Amino acid sequence: MPFRWSGRAVQTISAAAMSALLLTSAMKHFREPQFFSQVVPDYLCREEPVTGPDATGDGNTPHDGGTRHLAVMSREEWIAVSGLLEAGAAVGLLIPVTRRATATAVTAMFTVFLAGHADALRRVYGPKGSPAQRTAHTVRFPLQLPLILWAWSLRSTPAGRRP
């Protein structure tokens, strides 16, 4: 007789896999923060205002003379906070009671990350981008969609259970 997977077992395994992925990524945020540096948009980073051709890192002078109105943290702080959020989400996905809320938050987080990936693509296809950076970010950007869909799928209640 073939083995049949219950909806609950499939969701638990899927949540554990997403949790492992998030935890691995969270650890990488602290071990290799430079890997995430290009994905943090410049306009979010509280850094010394720079004027001139290198203000945004893409060869263009910012329209506001170097002031970044949306900047609330440094690039390093954004990387650390996103690593902490991913670590917290990894735990939340493993707890059935918090899984739906956490999966919703992870879906939103991955969706927000699209802005960073789009900004990174814009910059690496500028004059300072290297072919390796172009390849890496061209591959990373579309990978967000399966992650978003996967996180969203963890919101569903397994068959045979009430919400």
Residue 61 pLDDT level (bands cut at 50, 70, 90): very low
Expressed as residue numbers, the domain containing 88 is 7-41+75-153
96 within domain boundaries: yes
In a domain, 68, yes or no: no
Q: What mean pLDDT do residues 90-98 have?
A: 96
pLDDT digits (tens, 9 = 90+) for 118-142: 999 999 999 988 999 999 999 999 9
Per the structure block, which two tokens stand in for 26? 């969270």
CA pair distance 125, 133, nearest whole angstrom: 9
28 found inside a domain = yes
DSSP string, 58-118: SS---TTTT--TT--B-HHHHHHHHHHHHHHHHHHHHSHHHHHHHHHHHHHHHHHHHHHHH
Angle between helices 7-31 and 131-153 (to 10 degrees): 150
From residue 97, how far is each of 48, 50, 125 by CA, in Å?
44, 47, 44
Total residues belonging to the chain:
163
Q: Is 48 within the bounds of a domain?
A: no
Q: What pLDDT shows up at residue 7? A: 74
- Domain total of the chain: 1
With respect to residue 51, please indicate whether it lies within any of the assigned structural domains.
Answer: no
Structural domain contains residue 97:
yes
Specify if 64 maps to a domain.
Answer: no
Q: Is residue 47 part of a domain?
A: no
pTM of the complete model:
0.78
